[in-house]
Structure 1
Amino acid sequence: MSETQSARHRQGMATRRAVLGDSHVDRAEAASTEFDRPFQELITEAAWGHVWSRPALSMRERSIVTIALLAALGQDDEVAMHVRATANTGASREDVREALLHVAIYAGVPAANHAIKIAKRIFEHMDAGQAAGTEV
């Protein structure tokens, strides 16, 4: 790893932990193998070290955008993970609801309907103080 990449990776890991929480990142790191380690490094540097660490949007705004995009793409596990992350990003339930209303109009009602079901389930787990895990 070059010095620039190393600094980018450190920044990415700090941002990733701030958004997803230490326990999630620790589980992902522990589950990493030689096969997927390059992918983990890529997302840590590119997604978390570059995009999520940029100053133009707040963590809250990035969270809202990310949830809408993942819902539109039908990425259920990632929607659940990022809805859980709202506890760390400052995105409110109202923010999530508004993002999913946009998904309904711009990406389709079925995508939004499914993501709303996921968000409701995750919020119920969060309200009950339960670790929702990675299931959706």
Structure 2
Amino acid sequence: MTDRRTLGEATRRSVLGDAHVDRSQGTATPFDAPFVDFITEGAWGTVWSGDQLTKRERSLITLALLAGLGREEEFQLHCRATENTGATPEDIREMLLHVAVYAGVPAANTAFRLAKKILADRIEEAEDAQ
């Protein structure tokens, strides 16, 4: 393992959680293993591990891009990860207002719907844990 891959895996786990990373790595095959290495080293070991932005800031940027591109599955994954990055529901709301202006109301509308569900589920899970 390269240092960049080791750093990337640690960062990825801190943002997405061990369960997601274990599941993702557990389904890797010889066909897509190079892709897993690429995103772990590049996206997580370089971009997400940089020191110029906080994880909260990176999380909001990522969410805005995913919402604008209509990448619902990845948007949901990263919306759930805000619990680990420090992005608040208010941050997400404000970011989605920017998405509406700069990427379009339909993209923001979909992302608001997805985020509302994820945030409501988070509240419900917290109440159930008490």
The letter for the 2-side match of 1:11 is L
SS of 2:49's equivalent in the other structure is coil
* CA–CA separation in structure 1 for the residues paired with 2:42 and 2:22: 19
Which residue number corresponds to residue 30 of structure 1?
A: 26
Q: Name whichever structure is richer in helix by fraction.
A: 2
Q: Displacement of 1:32 after TM fit? A: 1.0
Structure 1 position 92 matched with structure 2 position 103: no
Misfit runs of 4+, over 6 Å:
none
Which residue number corresponds to residue 133 of structure 1?
A: none
Structure 1 position 128 matched with structure 2 position 124: yes
Structure 1 position 114 matched with structure 2 position 118: no
Match of 2:43 among 37, 40, 47: 47
Match of 2:99 among 103, 109, 124: 103
TM-score, normalised relative to structure 2: 0.94
- RMSD across aligned C-alpha pairs, in angstroms? 1.1
**Structure 1 unaligned regions, length at least 5:** 131-136
* CA–CA separation in structure 2 for the residues paired with 1:27 and 1:129: 21
User: Aligned pairs, how many?
Assistant: 126
Structure 1 position 68 matched with structure 2 position 64: yes
* CA–CA separation in structure 1 for the residues paired with 2:125 and 2:19: 15
* CA–CA separation in structure 1 for the residues paired with 2:104 and 2:66: 13
* CA–CA separation in structure 1 for the residues paired with 2:62 and 2:18: 20
Q: Displacement of 1:40 after TM fit? A: 0.6
What is the aligned-residue identity percentage?
56
Q: Displacement of 1:126 after TM fit? A: 1.5
Write out per-residue CA displacement over residues 54-99 of structure 1, whole angstroms, 9 at most, x where no aligned residue. 0000000000110000000000001000000000000000111111
